[in-house]
Structure 1
Amino acid sequence: MPVTTKLKGNDVSLYGNQVNVGDNAPVVTLPNSALEEITIGGAQGKAQLIIAVPSLDTPVCATETRKFNEQAAAVEGAAVCVVSMDLPFAAKRFCSTEGIENVQVLSDFRDKCFSVNYGTLIAEGPLRGLSARAVFVVNKEGKITYKELVPEITAEPDYETALNALKEAAK
């Protein structure tokens, strides 16, 4: 049975390998806004908060990125990244405009390797080809300890629960 989320109340199927709590976090390499290759997932020796958003150029994604930029920076021993399909150049402009300095902003535009490996690629509808909104926490050993596939793409995630899971994984 395909995994779905909702877009404005309508079911939307997702494509890719569904990962869940207890699974090894897939290792993927994505460009940041300076076109440097950054590897996320797997055992990194620190906790990771990996946030998937459709596009930084939407109000909900921008708000989410700003909130995690402010709140997750206080978690010692953790790395935080936001993954979208935005081009690195657009992500760089967004980070400059919004003062995003505490999270890595990564692009999945090349081959959608993150979205396919984490099961967040939207397979149908007006946002087809973008990523659904999701949050993953990966512990130091590379295991997924928290996952939230936000049930409505236009809604924000549960910040408090995600940040508490990150703090726990960073211990």
Structure 2
Amino acid sequence: MQINHNNSILTLEDMPLDVGYSSEKVDLKNSAGEIFSIGGQNGATQLLISVPFIDDSLISQLRDFDTLLSLNALGGITKALIVANDTHDLPALEEWLSGYDYDEAFGDFYGVRLSNKELAKSLFIISKDGAVFYHEILNDLNEPFSVDKALAKIVAANSCYTGKGCHG
């Protein structure tokens, strides 16, 4: 997959993890050096966003997610912002986990590592049972995510899991 950024073309090093596949629990490191886990089955719907850079536009979009989730009474969702390494300054965002992919497990397992070793601008929704419910990998790093589409998918992912398995 080719990704555009200004006048450059980057490529993904691997195939992205597709909808329906089981997500993997991976560890990230926050700016204080503490390790935390995202992905996998944790009983909560998860919104995982990886980016190659953090700018005001992205911060605004993350706040839009917070507002829409709040207006739609969608609490208890794990929200994480992931960058490739500690050369990035992680923003202090209330209710968001922010971390570095220090061991490259997120980039490798989710298939979002770019040819320049940064992470693609991607959004994954993981259902309560740990499956990839939806993903969006942007072809242009300057474009915003489809917040409305992601919100609809979060609502669906949050409501479809009954906890009784596929025969319940």
Q: 1:101 aligns with which of 94, 102, 127?
A: 94
For the structure 1 residues 89 and 53, does the alpha-carbon distance in structure 2 shift closer, same or farther, using more than 3 Å as the test? closer
Residue in structure 2 matched with residue 152 of structure 1 by the alignment: 140
CA distance in 2: counterparts of 1:150 and 1:89, whole angstroms = 20
- Cross-structure match for 2:104: 112
Runs ≥4 residues deviating over 4 A: none
Look at both structures and tell me which one has the larger radius of gyration over its CA atoms.
Answer: 2
Deviation, 1:131, is: 0.8
Residues 6 and 152, structure 1, Cα contact 8 Å, conserved in 2: yes
Count residues in correspondence. 157
Q: What SS does the corresponding residue of 1:162 show, helix, strand or coil? A: helix
Answer yes or no: is 1:33 the counterpart of 2:31.
yes
Distance 1:72 1:116, change over 3 A: farther
Q: Which residue of 18, 21, 31 corresponds with 2:19? A: 21
Structure 1 residue ranges without an equivalent (≥5): none
In structure 2, relative to structure 1, the CA distance for the partners of 1:111 and 1:71 (3 Å cut) is same
Tell me, in whole angstroms, the C-alpha distance in 1 between the residues paired with 2:139 and 2:146. Answer: 11
Residue 121 of structure 1 corresponds to 113
Q: What TM-score do you get using the length of structure 1 for normalisation?
A: 0.81
1:59 maps onto 2:56 in alignment: yes
Unaligned runs of 5+ in 2: 160-168
1:29 match: secondary structure: strand
1:27 deviates by 1.6
CA contact (8 A) 1:140 1:169 kept: yes
- CA distance in structure 1 between the partners assigned to 2:105 and 2:35 by the alignment: 13
1:133 to 2:121 alignment: yes
SS in 2 for 1:121: coil
Post-superposition offset of 1:69: 3.9
The CA RMSD over aligned residues, in Å, is 2.1
Q: 1:72 to 1:34 in 2, by over 3 A?
A: farther
Change (3 A) 1:72 1:15: farther
